[in-house]
Each structure stands twice: as structure tokens, then as C-alpha cells.
Amino acid sequence: MHCESENRLIKERESLGVVMADLHVHTCLSPCAGLDLTPMKIVEKARQRGLSLIAVTDHNSAENAAAVMAAAKGSDLRVLPGMEVTTAEEAHVVALFETLEGAVALQQVVFDNLTPGKNDENLFGMQVISNEFDEVDGFNERLLIGATSLDLGEVVDTIHRFGGLAVAAHIDREGFSVIGQLGFIPDEMDFDALEISREMSLAQGRARFGEYERFPFVTSSDAHSLDEIGMVSTRFRAARPEMDEIRLALTGERGREIVMAEGVC
């Protein structure tokens, strides 16, 4: 029985491929993003860059996730719905979900705890809600650029409660990162991964933040313009571009793993 199990695992590993993923992409809904970041254009650019998986992660809202998912339907690009939540400490946490339901559930909690006020388009930018055909469906007037009243632990716990992955965003940046805001990552924080920005390589990030080696490291573009999509990506050894495969890769289970072009990170 042991030999049969081992042989099955070997065959499963041999069937794995490389999934190129950019798990932090904004749309025209984010006030600081370009208005040309519409669903069809995002999908087109992601495919041009050879990506097989992206996540839609607008600031404090998931209202454009469904449109990008619909725009990618029938293509070889998989889209995960998500969000970039701003905590009470003004740290950014990327939430990733398998289903739209999880993202929408988080969105309601975020909306209920978002800084009161109305978006100033002249100051912060427009917050466009788009459909899958790149048509304007409306505008979000909430202050999406603001912070929520939820602290870091509450945000992470809420993401997990709705079945999502919680990733500490761009930890190498001074602004709006957990380390930039707090100076460290609290021991009790149950992040699923730490994100390194496109400003340094994944290997450089792991070396710089070696004290946090208990976490898996990923790198994403944090794209706020079309040209930035896929500028950097994380390569996962996985069977397919799906959330369950990413979960396994983050924990190094069943042969799934995070890899670099020159070898294992």
C-alpha cells in the first residue's frame, strides 16, 4: 500500500506544470488606477503576458471582479475574485477567493466599516464600475481610498472566515505595508503568504526578510496600469490555475510549490 501511494504521488508530480500568476491587479474601480483598466483590456493584456491566473484586487471593493471573470470566460485565463483591504493601521492586505460569494461577503463587511465620506473624483480619481464588455455600469461613491475600522487581526480573520487567503501586501514598501506601518509582523498574524513588490526580486525579498521564513513569499505586479499587468509574477508548480492548487503550492503539499525560473525559491 505504501508503494502504491508513493507511485501515485510520483505520477501526480510528473503531471504538474508551471502556473504563471499575478495575484494583485487593480481595475478602473480603484481610484488610483488607470481608467483603461477595464475587464476586456485586463484579460487581453494578461494573456499577452503569458499569465494563466490573475486576481482582481481593487481597493476595499470587489465590484468589478465578476466582470473580469466574465470577460475571461472561454479563454485560457483564470480569474480569482479578491480585494485589497486597508486596515485600521493603514496596512494593505490582499484577499483572494475561489468564488465570488466569498469576495462579496468580505465586501459587505468592508463597506460596513469603511471610513465615512464620499469620493472626491478630482482629488483621488474616478471609481468606475464596469461590465464585462468594458461599458460603464456606474460609479462607487464611497471613499475606497480610505481605511476601514478593522484592525489587522480582524481583517485576516474575516478573510479566513469567508474561505479566502490573506496575503500581506508589498511588505518591502514603506507605505501601506504591515512592516511599514507596524515595523514588524506580529507573531499571531496568520498570513497565508507575504507579497514582495515588483521593486525587488522574490529571492531578494526572501533574503531581506529572512526572519519571516515561516511564511511563503509571492511576488505580484500590484498593477495600476495596463502595462504593469504581469510585469512580475509568481510561478507555481501546480496542476492547473485554480485556488485549491495555489493553496497547496503555498504550503508545499503534494509536489506543489513556488518556483523561480532558475529553481526552487
What region does 263 belong to: left with phi over 0, alpha with psi -120 to 50, or beta?
left
Q: Is the pLDDT of residue 264 over 60?
A: no
Dump pLDDT digits (tens) for 123-156.
Answer: 999 999 999 999 999 999 999 999 999 999 999 9
Alpha helices, H only, the chain: 2-14, 39-48, 65-72, 100-112, 121-124, 152-161, 178-182, 202-208, 243-251
- Residue 213 reports pLDDT greater than 80: yes
pLDDT at 261: 47
Angle among Cα 192, 195, 155 to the nearest 5 degrees reads 50
262 confidence band (pLDDT: 50, 70, 90): very low
In this predicted structure, the answer to whether residue 229 has a pLDDT above a threshold of 90 is yes
Q: How many CB atoms lie within 10 A of CB 167?
A: 31
Kindly give the pairing relationship between strand 17-25 and strand 193-196: unpaired
Residues 74-80: what's their mean pLDDT? Answer: 97
pLDDT in the model for residue 15? 76
Domain annotation for the chain: domains and CATH numbers:
19-257 (3.20.20.140)
Whether pLDDT at 114 is above 80: yes
Angle at 164 between CA 159 and CA 168, to 5 degrees: 65
Contact 179, 211 (CB under 8 A): no
| Span 213-233, average pLDDT | 97
Averaged pLDDT of the chain:
94
Percent of the chain with pLDDT over 70: 92
pLDDT in tens, 2-40: 665 555 555 566 679 999 999 999 999 999 999 999 999
3-state secondary structure of 123: helix
pLDDT digits (tens, 9 = 90+) for 39-71: 999 999 999 999 999 999 999 999 999 999 999
User: Residue 162: which of 215, 85, 109 has the closest Cα?
Assistant: 109
CA distance 262 to 202: 12
For the entire predicted model, the pTM comes to 0.93
Task: Supply φ then ψ for residue 105, to 5 degrees.
Answer: -65, -40
Q: pLDDT digit string (tens) for 197-208?
A: 999 999 999 999
Give the per-residue pLDDT at 238. 97
Quick one: pLDDT at residue 11?
Answer: 59
Is the model's pLDDT at 121 over the cut of 90?
Answer: yes
Q: Residue 85 and residue 227: Cα distance in Å, rounded? A: 23
- The 10 Å CB-count burial string (b at 16+, else e) for 124-146 is bbbbbbbbbeeeeeeebebbbbb
How far apart CA 82 and CA 122 sit, in angstroms, is: 26
Q: Scanning the structure block, which residue is given the C-alpha cell 484579460?
A: 43
